[in-house]
Structure 1
């Protein structure tokens, strides 16, 4: 193995050890209670190994979740088949069920939500309706839809994934289409909505 490959393997091993150790500590502690010293001790690596890879514990968690969340959005952006999207989403929730539960219970869900929001902002400009919206509408539509879509998936997850994933996927699509129609076709005025 070349020196470069060896260094890359050491770096990957350090990242894996730190990630595993952090999730072990999260079993009994909120994220803000965990200190770098306790993490590196549990992981069996030096503080330098931590700081060579991450700036903070949040950075470590982001590195763990970001590739998988981004992969799910890539399925949508690249318009893979409905069956593949549903299968990938089901696999994601299966693989990350415990980590997502910890995110809620140990107060680091905002990291996942931020990754989700960034991917929503990456997705919407690729949709057909985007060019029909004003810059102000674009900004607030992304914020509105991101929070709403996240809330739907979160509630479904916390409810124990009782409804079929296809049902939730369809619901999200219906909300997105209805919102796009309301923005591009004028929709009812706020006064009409009061009645």
Structure 2
């Protein structure tokens, strides 16, 4: 048992070192210019340690960001009272702003967007269970709204959050209501 725990700790340490090294390199390099060799050298681990855990640098970033973003989504969806959701969402997006700016600047925004969209789609599926929409309407409405919400939050964060959080929330809520009404009407 101790050997298994030791092996698991080594694996976890390797993943942490690799993640730290990649994030440090992304401060000054675009993702598409980095190589596995650069990352493992900076991390002080072998290429084998990298390939035991990941296939690509994008996989490493996904493994790092997915649990963090998903946990925050879940906290807000299930752990925050309705009256406090707007504030919690605003805090979440303000916390996400530096990551989104780095991702946009260094060429890995698609990873953040994919994780964001998947979480939004999961959230919307719970809401849509109580609507009379067909499965096709639900699927496409969810894709449409997830992409739209991401685009709105992205614009708001990258342009300096000039509008109030309440304005953005009301805008998104209005789009949700109107697009839902158009499908039901």
Select between 126-135 and 57-66 the one with higher mean Cα deviation: 126-135
Runs of 4+ aligned residues of structure 1 deviating over 6 Å after TM superposition are none
2:5 matched to 1:12?
no
Q: Flag the 1:10–1:93 CA change in 2: closer, same or farther, 3 A.
A: farther
| C-alpha deviation, 1:4, in angstroms | 3.0
Structure 1: segments with no counterpart, 5+ residues: 187-195
2:85 matched to 1:66?
no
TM-score, length-normalised on structure 1? 0.82
| C-alpha deviation, 1:7, in angstroms | 2.3
| CA–CA separation in structure 1 for the residues paired with 2:164 and 2:127 | 26
- The equivalent of 2:179 in structure 1 is 179
Matched residue count: 184
| C-alpha deviation, 1:175, in angstroms | 1.7
Structure 2: segments with no counterpart, 5+ residues: none
Residue deviations 1:156-179 (CA, integer Å, cap 9, x gap): 110222334343233322221221
Q: Flag the 1:91–1:137 CA change in 2: closer, same or farther, 3 A.
A: closer
- The equivalent of 1:192 in structure 2 is none
Alignment of 1:32-181 (within 5 A): 32-78=32-78, 80-82=80-82, 83=84, 86-87=87-88, 89-91=90-92, 93-94=94-95, 96-128=96-128, 131-181=131-181
Alignment root-mean-square deviation, CA: 2.3
Select between 169-178 and 22-31 the one with higher mean Cα deviation: 169-178
Q: Flag the 1:68–1:162 CA change in 2: closer, same or farther, 3 A.
A: farther
